[in-house]
Amino acid sequence: MTDRLTEAEIEALSATFTNQMKATHLLERAGLARRHHPQFYPGESSFEFWSELASLLENGLLPDGRRRILTEAHRDYRGNRIFADAVREDGVSRGEGAPWEDGVPRHVSVFCLDARHYSRQDIATQASWREGLRRIVDEAVGGAGLPPRSIRLRQDRGDGFLAAVAADAPKAVLATEFVRELRIALRTYNRGRDETGRIRLRLALHQGEVGIGGSGFVGDAAVVAARLVDADPVRQLLEQDRDAELALVLSSEFYHSTVAGRLRDLDPAQYRRVEVSVAGKYEGLAWITLPGRPFPVVRTPSNGSDQGPVADGKWDFLISADPSDEAWGSWIARVLEGRGHSVHLAALDALPGEHEIGLLHEGISQSRRTLAVLSKSYLASEKMQAAWQAAWQADPNGVKRTLIPIRVETCDPAGLLRGISYIDLVDKKDGAAAELELVRQIVRSLNGRGSRPSTPPPFPGQRS
């Protein structure tokens, strides 16, 4: 639905909302602040008022303004054919399913698009970008083969779109075909354009319950998607790679529904786990990537902060375990992957034809941290020393905690390993207790903070 009011719609509005008070009430409900309203001047007809408003809408006064205004007008005048036709058109003209209006939230996928630096452009460029964004999204939806009525509601945000996609549209298709078609449409649009006319997008994918309220979404799922697309780690991807045209962020829920299960051709190694905090309004985990491009190299802070390494790598953890401890390595991998971490374990990741030394080198160089599974066999193996010594050399003072030993058998680390605190699973009597301890200590290491008692310690008294 475009933001250009037709002549018939202008006439219908001027015949029903005939004075300043009626028009103001309608426009405020549609989301237009009163300070932006045109005025009814003495001697001016209501048709002239609504004609002026139509011109302002064409110039971007209110994102998705035509739909919002006509939807609210339809609520007041259900029998008006012009308003009813416009609302029906909004549901199907772009292959969109009619939004539900029974007040019951539905489980949907949500995508949120935002154009980088939209607000810095002049009015003419913003208008061009908005039309370009509509075309790009339409082509991506069609190219991905999404069912025509799967887009339940698409809300124009001016600098992007917020859309609810019906649950019967596979989430993996959104994460693969839709993202790919969006890149193709974006590249086609940008071809031959200079930096001013070039659109670069951030895309967030999420899932959850949403409903329809007034002229837009209600529900946390829509809020989370909008927060994710504005998160600093997503913005930084486009700042760090000036040639990238699309940055993608997945919520934790969406990631585990699609990428973690390696659905279609999705590969967890192409995503990086980040912590997201947006102006105190949203905090959580997310996964980011540059579709079709490698991650830009991000340097480690020089101040030795507690945030640990931020080096470019495929995996959060390399699990270094002796072949005799393969069961322990697999168990640790399962626990960590179940909490959203990417893990490299040679016993699980080795492919036919790969060289053992090459696989070890890739694991060491492409992992942010190394987990050394300590046992008597591990400490006696010269081959195992290569992995943990490489991690130690990268962080000899332990400031970034790139080497985390995990003791699974009674043994006494010697030499350099003796001075490194380890996670001790030896005395844990069952799998649940061991898992709890492992997760608790890994979180402590990642956060750079030791445990504190929940109650204040007693006063120690004076020494005698």
DSSP string covering 155-175, please?
Answer: EE-SSEEEEEEETTS-HHHII
Q: What are the backbone dihedrals phi and psi of residue 397, each rounded to the nearest 5 degrees, phi first?
A: -90, -5
C-beta neighbour count of 128 within 10 angstroms: 16
Determine the Cα–Cα distance for residues 175 and 170; give it in Å rounded to an integer: 9
Q: What is the pLDDT of residue 23?
A: 92
Contacts of 94 (CB under 8 A, 6+ apart): 1, 138, 151, 154
Residues, the chain: 464
Type of residue numbered 439: V
Q: What is the pLDDT of residue 382?
A: 80
Determine the Cα–Cα distance for residues 173 and 444; give it in Å rounded to an integer: 37
For the chain, 464 residues long, give each residue's pLDDT as a single digit of tens: 446 788 888 989 999 999 998 999 899 888 888 888 888 888 888 888 998 888 888 777 777 788 889 888 988 887 788 887 776 544 433 334 444 555 577 888 999 999 888 777 778 777 788 888 888 888 888 888 887 577 776 776 667 778 888 888 899 999 999 999 999 999 999 988 887 788 999 999 999 888 766 556 677 888 889 889 988 889 888 888 888 999 999 998 899 889 988 888 898 888 988 888 765 556 778 899 999 887 764 433 333 333 333 334 567 888 999 989 999 999 998 888 877 677 888 765 554 544 455 566 677 777 888 899 999 999 988 878 877 887 788 778 777 788 899 999 999 888 888 888 899 999 887 888 888 888 888 877 776 655 555 456 677 766 55
- CATH code assigned to 315-447: 3.40.50.10140
CATH number for domain 97-289, candidates 3.40.605.10, 3.30.70.1230, 3.30.420.40, 3.40.190.10: 3.30.70.1230
What the block records as the tokens of 35 is 């300070």
Q: What is the pLDDT of residue 254?
A: 92
Asked whether the beta carbons of 201 and 116 are under 8 A apart, the reply is yes
What the block records as the tokens of 24 is 């103001």
Q: What is the pLDDT of residue 215?
A: 54
Q: What is the pLDDT of residue 347?
A: 61
Determine the Cα–Cα distance for residues 87 and 31; give it in Å rounded to an integer: 17
Q: What is the pLDDT of residue 308?
A: 35
Transcribe 17-38 into DSSP letters.
S-SHHHHHHHHHHTT--GGG--
Q: Is 124 helix (H, G, I), strand (E, B) or coil?
A: helix
Domain ranges of the chain: 7-91, 97-289, 315-447
What the block records as the tokens of 158 is 């001016």
Asked whether the beta carbons of 229 and 160 are under 8 A apart, the reply is yes
Q: Is 110 helix (H, G, I), strand (E, B) or coil?
A: strand
Helix (H) or strand (E) holding 218: strand 216-218
What the block records as the tokens of 168 is 């019967």
